[in-house]
Every structure is written in C-alpha cells, then in structure tokens.
Amino acid sequence: MLVPRGGSWGTLVAKALRSQGATPVVAPLIDFSHTSEEEKLRQALIKLESGYYDWMTATNATVVDVLAHNNTVIAKRTQVAVVGETTYAAFIDAGYEVARTTEEADTSALGLLKVWPEISNGKILRILTMRSDVAKPVLTEGLIDLGHDVTQIVAYRTIGVPASVHVREDVSSGHINALLVSSPQVAREVAAQFADRPDSTIVACLGDEARAEAERLGLTTGSSASEALTCAVAKAALEALDPADMMD
C-alpha cells in the first residue's frame, strides 16, 4: 500500500498498516513549501518573539518546522494552544511549552475551542493563528466570533511531489495494489500521477473531504470486496492519527 506522506505522519501510518498485515510503501506525494505571505509571516514572528501576542495556535505539526526554519523563540509570556496529539508532541519535542491542547474525545479545531477557558472569560486576547494555505480557518473564525484580536497567517503552502519512476511503475503494474488518500490534495496527486493503474487498485480515503474529492475525480472503486478492504485500511490508519493530521 502506498502511504502518501513522509515524516512522523508516514511513520505512524505505516506502523498501523503493518500491524494489520499490509506492506506499506512510504512515497510522499505532497510536501510543504514557503508561504506566499512571507513578509507578513516575518513580521508576525518578530511580534511573537517580542511577546506581543497573548497566545499562538497551531493545527498541524508543520508549524514547528516553520518556527525552526525561522529560528523563532516564542516569548515566555505568550502561551501556546495546539490541535491534536501529533501537533502537541511536535511542539514538546522541539522544546516549546504547550498550555492548551485538545482532549481525546474531540481532537478537532472546534474541540480546542471547547477546552480553552481563557478565551471565554470576557478578556480580549491577541492571538496568532498559523495554518496551511489549503486548511480551513475553523479555529481562526471561532476566535474572531468570540471577539478576540486575531492575526491569521498562512505559514506554509502544500505542494505536490512527483513520485519516483520506480513507484509509478509499481502502481502501474499492480505491485502496489492499494493507495491511501489522506486529503483532497493527495487525491489530486493520485489522479494526476497514477492514471495508469489497474482497475483492481484499492483507493482508501481518510475523512469525508478526501473521499469527496476522490469520488469527484473518479478514483474510488465500487465492489463489495474492495469496499470492505478499503474500510479496514482506513480504520487502521485513522486509529494512528488525529483529525488534524488529514489537513493539507
């Protein structure tokens, strides 16, 4: 089975799939690049280091890479709130303190808003939110609705990555007979890069948005056998991830 992202995400998913008897092949089809808001990001990070913000948020572990790339040191007075266990672990591993994170019952952006008491005590807070260019600004909009002074930054862009010739040949021949689709962007890369694949190739989608895009592109298969296998694969992968990890 092709696992379309590398890093800690790919490692977690590959381990989960391997435990279910699959043979995962980690071949990233998306990666992260510099934001189109480079100057806006630079100014926000200067303010972040100066202690201008009361809080900063992150919905994806890639934000840690952005901070590291810019050698950013978060001011001691600025507290950090993050979505999902993977994002939390990335911040802790990088030496940052995290004051608020989601609970296991709801690891979504809305889930963070529910367990963040400081945003509901009537005080207007200055908050920096950082996300991908294609991620929905759910957290930002929720904080604005509560009346806070929010600076929203598109901290990085999601870009497609060409698979190796070897991987493309293995998909075309059916040697790799299942493809994991973790987001709408991955669905588009699968459609573009693996158009020449056997009809029997399984396409397993994680989350409603990925599934909807895959269906729009004609990637999904309809037999009961493939549907059962798809569900089993998706279940194994989902158990290793937070909902935030399916964001581009």
The model's pLDDT over 187-215, given as tens digits with 9 standing for 90+, comes to: 999 999 999 999 889 898 887 788 899 99
Q: Which residue has the tokens 């709130």?
A: 81
Whether 225 shows a pLDDT value over 80: the answer reads: no
Closest CA to 55 of 112, 127, 113: 127
Q: Of 106 and 147, which is predicted with more confidence?
A: 147
CB 206 within 8 A of CB 237: yes
Q: How high is the mean pLDDT of the chain? A: 87
pLDDT for 223 equals: 45
Q: Which of 6-10, 23-27, 98-102, 222-226 has the lowest mean pLDDT?
A: 222-226
Share of the chain residues as helix, strand and coil, in percent rounded to the nearest 5: 45, 20, 35
> Confidence band (pLDDT; 50, 70, 90) for 234?
low
- Domain 2-29+161-246, CATH number (from 3.40.50.1100, 3.80.30.20, 3.40.50.10090, 3.30.70.920): 3.40.50.10090
Domain ranges of the chain: 2-29+161-246, 33-158
The DSSP bridge pattern shows strands 149-160 and 30-34 to be: antiparallel
- Report pLDDT digits (tens) over 54-96: 999 998 888 988 999 899 999 999 999 999 887 888 899 889 9
Name the pTM for this structure: 0.71
Do 2-29+161-246 and 33-158 fold alike per CATH? yes
- Has residue 180 got a pLDDT over 50? yes
At 134, give phi and psi (nearest 5°).
Answer: -110, 0
CA distance 105 to 140: 21
Residue 224 has pLDDT above 70, yes or no: no
Instruction: Give the tokens for residue 143.
Output: 């904080």
Q: Which listed CATH number (3.40.50.10090, 3.90.1300.10, 3.90.550.10, 1.20.120.530) goes with 33-158?
A: 3.40.50.10090
